[in-house]
Structure 1
Amino acid sequence: MFNLFHLSLKLSGFPIANAQADFEKILAISEADYPDYLETKKREIVEFHLKNNPFYHNLVGKETFDNWNELPVLTKKDLQKPLKDRLSKGYSEKTVFVNKTSGSSGDPFVFAKDKEAHAFTWASIMYRFGWYGVDFNSSYQARFYGIPMDFIGYRKERLKDFLSKRYRFPIFDLSDTILDGVLEHFKTEKFNYINGYTSSIVLFGKYLQARNIILTDVCPTLKVCMVTSEMLFEEDKILLEKYLGIPVVNEYGASELDLIAFQHPNDEWQVNSETLFLEILDENNQPVPYGKKGKIVITSLYNKAHPFIRYEIGDIGILDEKSTLKKPILKKLIGRTSDVALLPSGKKSPGLTFYYVTKSIIEDDGNVKEFIVRQTKIDSFEIDYVSSVELTLEQTQEIEKAIAKYLEPGLHFTYNRKKVLERTKRGKLKQFQSNL
């Protein structure tokens, strides 16, 4: 089989073969030897950043550390500085993998991974998807994701999709007419698996339910569905498994880190302990025992370009009592839900659509710290934001232009600059809220 996906990673400068070989070595470390291995890796990555990353060195305030729990817990706020001021010595924006996130929490920032660390991320994804017989070089993916609407961005994503053996259904309009077309694709293409945003796939599941169609009846090559980026509720999982006709696998990840947890075929939500170290901390940033809930804080063990050390991701979770350092099990994830926007034309769009739209106001200078979008009427939205300087007329026009392109024209927006944004009881921002 011609490995087009591997080749595309290699051509982009990501040493995927080395990463996979190293990943296999980590998997082979025994349960007994794992705590020592992990301690070594944690110390190595912190010492590297204390020595080579002035930004991290300033945060910690000293050359060395004795106690892991004394290290600061980083939040997105700490990282809202121009990227060049956060990179380690020897790395530049041209030599690393750079991406943007607003996450599902509405805190935007630009992040980087060195190419080896990014290859590790792919090795970890390929390994876990392999549990379900998915091979990135040969399995064909039906992808429910956003896509940039500008000509160059759109073509670039479509090319990436081609190289990655996937067909993308843009999720900005999921009205019945569009879903009719999606269903036609499933009738004519031999898709092996579905991957994408939970809320979009659930909308498709409800569309199938209304028509009493089981997807595998029209597309028998389908084996599995992976949902990501938003909470999958139990009743939605039951609905999806019935109307897609395949197992639905829950994925929890963050673009700036990696896959964080992935549902194993035995149904446990296995944490990625190969490239990450996950802690559950209380309000005072102290570790809680297995079985107790707390903040999810993650260390990226291999990213040398940019420090993600004790990084608070904005979610609350519980590790299972039977967890070990080699095999931590996420018992419960609390958070990460997203509403659906209903528009005057009858379109339904997932709240995460605003993730793509609000990218147009996100700049690397870190001006906009946080934002939420609220739908107040069928045609009216409010954007509450926290920023160093007020958005200019030009910027708000840019947002509205992007929204007209992604969603539909004729929507009304008001912008409220705030000192702080209202949070949920869990201290999390809900990026999109519908008051309808």
Structure 2
Amino acid sequence: MTRIQEYFLFTLQKLCVRLNLFNISLKINGFSIKKAKTVLESIQKKNDSELSANIEAKKQDIVAYHLTHNPFYKTFAKGANPKDWNSIPVMTKRYLQQPLIHRLSDGFTAKNVYINKTSGSSGDPFIFAKDKFCHALTWAGFIDRYSWFHLDFNTSKQARFYGIPLNKMAYYKERLKDFLSNRYRCSVFDLSDTQLEKNLNKFKTTKFEYINGYTSSIVQFAKYLQRNNIVLNTICPTLKACIVTSEMLFEEDKILLETQFGIPVINEYGAAELGLIAFQNTKNEWIVNTEDLYVEILDDNNHILPYGEEGRVVITSLYNKAHPFIRYDLGDIGKLSKASTLGKPILESLVGRTNDIVQLPSGKKAAGLTFYYVTKTVIEDDGNVKEFIIEQLKLDMFKISYASNHELSEEKIIHIKNAITKYLESNLTVLFERKASLERSARGKLKQFRSFM
């Protein structure tokens, strides 16, 4: 690209920013962001009792709507009473793995809804729909939360650590969206020092305001900075925040990111089919979205658990009339803080996915990320191992695949095995395999634990 071409693109992008192109693009596509912002603000102005009444009314309204207007839901939720929440069945992803046309409400077609596909990280991907106002409200929520850290979707330049489709049509579509959305996409498929150096050079010449993307890839960039004794905001002083999403953020990694970036690190929790579920505020609290979602923590018998107890994350989309997501089991395990209130529920922890549970020979169960975390405390302490994943091959057999500068020493392997025995149980077989790089999903995510049991 010539300098004249670069200058033209730069000038065009600046013009797009001044025109608030993000908001304009939503409006052009039928997503009334202005109306959504007005509705969001009206909800946020309610006191606790008003909010409680609003949530109860919206719960009943969305159930009644789908029982009346959605043949799929009418069949699924036989016997459901909108005024008796305990009568509402819990919906899992497997119920939704059928053609979308069979799940749309009356009056909605593929031409007048927003359509997307879930990531498939749970192993149960499916296509879903949202009506256009519901989708606009989702964006209004994101815009509101980002403003907590003085970030603007229209004007704040983003360094984006996300995957990208590799087929030509989808690839160039994403690149165009990046250009129009004022963001630069860093590779998550190539995390070599050569590529990470290219990322660093981009920060030297670009006024980025925030970093956004997959936790594991951003952590690798931070480790590169650590190895080279670089603090990112000393070379890119416009940086305000780093937002990590889609993968687990461990406390040690958060400390590393804050140290090497020199900016606040924000934990975001969301799902494509639901939008924003929780977002960390400036007080380091993970605030649950109560404006357009209703979030429950349920036990194995679908009973609501009190604050402070761990269970399945089950969510109701209060505004999606095109497609029912009512008492929808997302497949995650988490708990709400005891300090939560109806008006301010706080997500204390997100342990992992329900299909990431370690079954041990003794009958003991543990979250897969617990196994990962125990190993992590040992395996990364000398900086040799860049990243690793754990797979359960048999009830008593696990494999640790890792990318590193050199093979793990026998002493280190013994140390890891001892840690696993101490925190889990004895007589487990642990295999080790060094790889040049670790396999990521088509979207560039790194699945840290996987069980084949």
TM-score by length of 2: 0.75
Matching residue's letter, 1:106 = G
Distance 2:184 2:203 in 1: 11
Q: How far does residue 103 in structure 1 lie from its aligned partner after superposition? A: 3.9
Query: Contact 2:388–2:400 at 8 Å: present in 1 too?
Result: no
Secondary structure of the structure 1 residue equivalent to 2:269: strand
Secondary structure of the structure 2 residue equivalent to 1:181: helix
Map 1:357-368 → 2, pairs under 5 A: none
Query: Contact 2:138–2:275 at 8 Å: present in 1 too?
Result: yes
Map 1:133-148 → 2, pairs under 5 A: 133-148=150-165
Matching residue's letter, 1:133 = H
Which stretch shifts more, 234-243 or 159-168? Answer: 159-168
Map 1:211-250 → 2, pairs under 5 A: 211-250=228-267
* CA displacement, residues 253-304 of structure 1 (integer Å, 9 cap, x when unaligned): 1011011010010111100000100001111001011111111100000011
Residue equivalent to 1:129: 146
2:42 is aligned with 1:25: yes
Matching residue's letter, 1:105 = S
Which stretch shifts more, 154-163 or 120-129? Answer: 154-163
2:349 is aligned with 1:332: yes
Query: Contact 2:33–2:136 at 8 Å: present in 1 too?
Result: yes
Residue equivalent to 2:226: 209
Distance 2:180 2:24 in 1: 9
Question: Which of 1 and 2 has greater Rg?
Answer: 2
* CA displacement, residues 92-129 of structure 1 (integer Å, 9 cap, x when unaligned): 11211111113432221111111110000000000001
2:96 is aligned with 1:89: no
Distance 1:102 1:318 in 2: 23
Matching residue's letter, 2:210 = Y
Matching residue's letter, 1:283 = D
Residue equivalent to 1:277: 294
Matching residue's letter, 2:294 = F
Distance 1:46 1:187 in 2: 52
Where structure 2 has 5 or more consecutive residues not aligned to the other structure, the ranges are: 1-17, 354-368, 377-385, 390-398, 404-438
Distance 2:210 2:120 in 1: 24
Change (3 A) 1:86 1:241: same
2:26 is aligned with 1:9: yes
Residue equivalent to 1:53: 70
Distance 1:32 1:277 in 2: 16
Distance 1:60 1:133 in 2: 43
Secondary structure of the structure 2 residue equivalent to 1:335: strand
Residue equivalent to 1:385: none
* CA displacement, residues 176-217 of structure 1 (integer Å, 9 cap, x when unaligned): 111111111001100000000001100111111111111111
Secondary structure of the structure 1 residue equivalent to 2:243: strand
Distance 1:305 1:431 in 2: 34
Q: How far does residue 158 in structure 1 lie from its aligned partner after superposition? A: 1.1
Matching residue's letter, 1:200 = S
TM-score by length of 1: 0.78
Matching residue's letter, 2:321 = K
* CA displacement, residues 13-32 of structure 1 (integer Å, 9 cap, x when unaligned): 11111101111111111112
Map 1:415-434 → 2, pairs under 5 A: 433=450
Distance 1:292 1:405 in 2: 32
Residue equivalent to 2:186: 169
Query: Contact 2:242–2:263 at 8 Å: present in 1 too?
Result: yes
Change (3 A) 1:209 1:73: same
Residue equivalent to 2:319: 302
Q: How far does residue 65 in structure 1 lie from its aligned partner after superposition? A: 3.8
Query: Contact 1:174–1:349 at 8 Å: present in 2 too?
Result: no
Aligned partner of 2:166 among 131, 149, 152: 149
Change (3 A) 1:143 1:34: same
Where structure 1 has 5 or more consecutive residues not aligned to the other structure, the ranges are: 341-347, 352-373, 379-402, 408-429
Aligned partner of 1:181 among 198, 201, 222: 198
Distance 1:81 1:405 in 2: 23
Tell me which of the two structures has the higher relative contact order, counting C-alpha pairs closer than 8 angstroms and 6 or more residues apart. Answer: 1
* CA displacement, residues 324-347 of structure 1 (integer Å, 9 cap, x when unaligned): 22211111111166999xxxxxxx
Residue equivalent to 2:394: none
Query: Contact 1:172–1:349 at 8 Å: present in 2 too?
Result: no
Which stretch shifts more, 185-194 or 170-179? Answer: 170-179
Distance 1:216 1:434 in 2: 39
* CA displacement, residues 230-260 of structure 1 (integer Å, 9 cap, x when unaligned): 1100000000000011110000110110110
Change (3 A) 1:91 1:130: same
Residue equivalent to 2:11: none
Query: Contact 2:388–2:402 at 8 Å: present in 1 too?
Result: no
Query: Contact 2:80–2:87 at 8 Å: present in 1 too?
Result: no
2:313 is aligned with 1:293: no
Matching residue's letter, 2:86 = N
Distance 2:388 2:212 in 1: 16
Distance 1:140 1:2 in 2: 15
Secondary structure of the structure 2 residue equivalent to 1:219: coil
Distance 1:78 1:290 in 2: 28
Change (3 A) 1:141 1:377: closer
Secondary structure of the structure 2 residue equivalent to 1:112: strand
Secondary structure of the structure 2 residue equivalent to 1:25: helix
Matching residue's letter, 1:329 = I
